[in-house]
Amino acid sequence: MKKRQQLILKDIVKEFIKTAVPVSSQILVENYNFDLSPATIRNEMQELTEEGYLKQPYTSAGRIPTDKGYRFSVNDFLTKDFSNLKIEKKLSKMIKDLEKETRDLLKFSSQFTKILALKSSSLVLIYLLEKNVLWKEGWQGIFQEPEFKDPDYISEFTKMVNHFEKKIEEFDIWDYPEIKIYIGKENPINSTDEFSLIISRFSLCKEEGILAMLGPKRMPYLKNIGLIRNFVKVLNNQN
């Protein structure tokens, strides 16, 4: 892929995640730093469409990312260094404060799940393997996303979450602490291709756990990957 096609694709992914509206060449010219004409950008978008990175939902619309387009951007995100000392210090203090308040691993895990759901705007699941306890937070926030105006979409998402809960211990995430990301059709839970899943192992007070974020395929991957990496790092350092 040409360098400027990579930049165009990444910005289309970014814009679509933000707005949930098909992205036109004009939007890219107006909102991003491209020293190109709309016609030139349209030509590049057409090539990206032909190569399977973008699709056009209907005639005369802009483009949206395909699974392949999301995967290209996510693979690029995974190469980034998400270390952020300021965030890590803030999280460490937050975790220590929660530990002082609760003095109970189960209560602490419940509060931790709520905080992460609030920060990620995704549905967050925390599972402690030895205790066989699972927390789930973020329904209210995720239902604000435009996709959830469709009752069928809600039904499919709920099924996916239920399937995930039943199979949570079967996921191949033993390369701890690496994050695994499943986009659309990559998702091993069920046949739908509308959702994505980010999952990682962590250790909390010497208890092994699983942390997962579930949401629309349009989820903010960069933010969520950064959150998980920073939270897991801080949690592991508390042991």
pTM for the whole structure: 0.88
Model confidence at 153: pLDDT above 90: yes
pLDDT digits (tens, 9 = 90+) for 132-141: 899 999 999 9
Domain with CATH 3.30.450.40 in the chain: 85-237
**Hey, what CATH class is 3-77 in?**
mainly alpha
> How is residue 127 written in tokens?
């599972």
**What is the Cα 194 distance to its own chain's centre?**
13
**Hey, what CATH class is 85-237 in?**
alpha beta
pLDDT digits (tens, 9 = 90+) for 10-32: 999 999 999 999 999 999 988 88
pLDDT digits (tens, 9 = 90+) for 209-230: 899 999 999 999 988 998 888 8
Calculate the average pLDDT of the chain: 86
Domain with CATH 1.10.10.10 in the chain: 3-77
Query: In whole angstroms, what is the distance from residue 51 CA to residue 130 CA?
Result: 46
Residue with token string 């926030």: 141
Q: 65 has which bridge partners?
A: 54
pLDDT digits (tens, 9 = 90+) for 84-110: 667 777 777 777 776 666 667 788 888
Do residues 136 and 124 lie in contact, with contact meaning Cβ atoms separated by under 8 Å? yes
What phi and psi, each to the nearest 5 degrees, are found at residue 174? -80, -5
